[in-house]
Amino acid sequence: MECPSCQTAVFAGQRTCPGCGLRVEGFEGTDPLSGMVLDGRYQLLEKVGSGGMGSVYRAVQLAVGREVAVKVVNVLALQDPATLRRFQTEARIISQLRHPNTLTLIDFGNMPDERPYLVTEFLRGESLSQALARGPMSPRRTLEILYEICDALTEAHAQGIIHRDLKPENIFLEAAEGRTVVRVLDFGIAKLGQTNNTATGTVCGTPAYMSPEQAQGGVAEPRSDVYALGILAYRCMVGRAPFEGEQPLAVLLKQIQEQPLPLRQAMMRPDLPTEVEWLVMAMLEKEPERRPASAAEVRAHIQHILTQVSLPLMVPAAPGISVPTPVPHAVLTPAHTTPVPFVSEAGLGSDPAMMRVLGVGLIALAVSIAAGAFLWKQGEADRVPVVQAVTAPVPMEVEEDEVALPAAPDLPPLEEAPDAIVDGPAKGARAEVRAKARRSGGAPTVSASEKKASEKKDGEKTSEKKKKKTEPPPGFLDFDVN
């Protein structure tokens, strides 16, 4: 620790500050282990966490200046052989695991008072519990986290190691080089091979994340970790665990007897893909044989969903918000177990399946716009102008050459016309002229006097027309503007 007066380093056992002489023994807020050097190699800097079994300190490896984490057993654990055995088991287990999603062990030893300690890499980031305190996660983000947890558990299960205490506090989201790496922590109560650190009939774990067989004091197996994975997935997407209660015993009874609310109903999102709900609810089956057999099988299903199923960015709907009816998806089938790159929440838009769907949609939209424009232009070219009727035409004077005369009717030729169409006193004379014309084979002739009389009559009719006004067509208003 540091002296509160001069900030000089004060080590455990020192009653006064070597810099200013201030008495620091029993000073409020001090930690007796802060500043201690273990085995001449690791100096403890500050406490960063604590639990039922021990405390975790940020420390420095003096030989190389590397930042490390040191976990130290509590003083009371010296009187509890079971706690010491669990601590040693954790050190032995993580020393066998090499997967990058598992915490790496660096060293193990004993303090001067015989308390054991273990040294691991120091992680920067936050626990899954801290992340969930900000609210639920989307299905894609949840499955990405579960995928990396399954990677770590697959190695552990292959070596006969059952974690038995998977919960948000034991999942760490490490910030490393611009991306998030999921780390599985705390194998303290893990079962190693055929050995069991827990007496038969003893319940071991966290009630909200324990499998029914663990809650009944049974033997844990890989499917017990699968059940805990289902609880984690449910907790991430819904915002709460499927079984809750004020007392641990009440939660354990629910784990054994009650069925969880279906994921779609809990999220109030009927548009949640069928495959996601199927996988989570399958992991939460009460009977172990009805669950996926291992973390590797769960990982295969997650691989299929992440690569083949469209996962919208969604969280549980607020009460009163309506959502569309889900579209049926393909039946879930196991896929290859090729690792899926971890995608951060900010990089969800780079999903290849979503990009293909977006591309096809944009192309279809462009074609529709082009076709619509073409048809509109064709319609404009073919359209006949509409002339609006004038409701009140005005009578007006017109010149003689502007009068539109009706077309002449189709009449039979003169030589074939009956005599009845000729009226007046000239009827007989004209008939005789036509008869002579037929006999001679020539056209009928008109005398000069007849031509002059006809012209005079036509002139009188024309002068009368010039004096008259044009009449409006039937149905229009009749008024004079003079």
As annotated, the active-site residues are 165
Q: DSSP state, 45?
A: E
Instruction: Spell out the residues 6+ positions from residue 293 whose beta carbon is closer than 8 angstroms to its own.
Output: 222, 223, 226
Instruction: Spell out the residues 6+ positions from residue 48 whose beta carbon is closer than 8 angstroms to its own.
Output: 56, 57, 58, 69
- What is the rounded distance in angstroms from the CA atom of residue 243 to the CA atom of residue 227? 13
Longest dimension (CA), the chain: 162
Stated length of the chain: 482
CB 162 within 8 A of CB 224: yes
- What is the rounded distance in angstroms from the CA atom of residue 103 to the CA atom of residue 122? 9
- What is the rounded distance in angstroms from the CA atom of residue 202 to the CA atom of residue 218? 8
What is the amino acid identity at position 171? Answer: I
What is the amino acid identity at position 323? Answer: V
Q: 474: which 2 tokens?
A: 């039937």
Task: Give the residue from 242, 248, 278 showing the smallest Cα distance to 260.
Answer: 242
The H or E element containing residue 306 is: helix 295-308
Q: DSSP state, 318?
A: P
E strands present in 8-166: 37-38, 42-50, 54-61, 66-73, 105-110, 116-121, 125-127, 161-162
Q: 354: which 2 tokens?
A: 């979503």
The CA dihedral of 71, 128, 173, 175, to the nearest 10 degrees, is: -100
Q: Cα angle at 251 between 246 and 255, to 5 degrees?
A: 165
Q: 99: which 2 tokens?
A: 């997967």
Helix, coil or strand: residue 233: helix
Q: How far apart are the first and last CA of the chain?
A: 116
The H or E element containing residue 174 is: strand 171-176
Q: 459: which 2 tokens?
A: 């002139």
CA 1 to chain centre: 48
CB 25 within 8 A of CB 3: no
